Amino acid sequence: MKDDDRVKRAVGRRAMLRRAALVAAAAPLLGLGAKESFADEKMSQKDAEYQPTPKGAQSCATCLQFTPPSSCKLVKGKISPQGWCSFWGPKQ
C-alpha cells in the first residue's frame, strides 16, 4: 500500500469519526435520544385487538404485560384481568 493511500484512509476515518460525533451530539436536539420515544407510546385497544373476554386459556391476568389491577404496559385504557389482546404472552 502506498503512503498516499494510507493518508487518504486515515483522513477518511477521521472525517467519519467527526461526523459520528456530530450526529451523537445533535441526537438530543433532534429528539433521537428523548425518553418519550415511540417505544414509550401505548397502543389503542382497537389496534391491539383487545377484547374484554379471554381467548381460551389466555387472559390478561396470565399475560407478561398486564399490570394489576387494570392496566397494561402496551395497551392504553382500563384493562380487564379477564381480557385478551393480540400481544398476549405468558408470564414466566
- Cα atoms in the 13 Å half-sphere on the side-chain side of 22: 6
Domains identified in the chain, total number? 2
The model's pLDDT over 8-32, given as tens digits with 9 standing for 90+, comes to 555 576 777 777 766 666 666 655 5
Same domain, 62 and 79: yes
* Alpha helices (H) in the chain, listed in sequence order: 3-30
Same domain, 50 and 71: yes
Ranges 4-8, 20-24, 41-45: which has the least confidence? 4-8
What is the pTM (predicted TM-score) of this model?
Answer: 0.58
Instruction: Answer for the pair 45, 85: CB distance below 8 angstroms, yes or no.
Output: yes
Ranges 8-12, 15-19, 40-44, 57-61: which has the least confidence? 8-12
What percent of the chain has pLDDT above 90? 53
Same domain, 19 and 49: no
Same domain, 92 and 58: yes
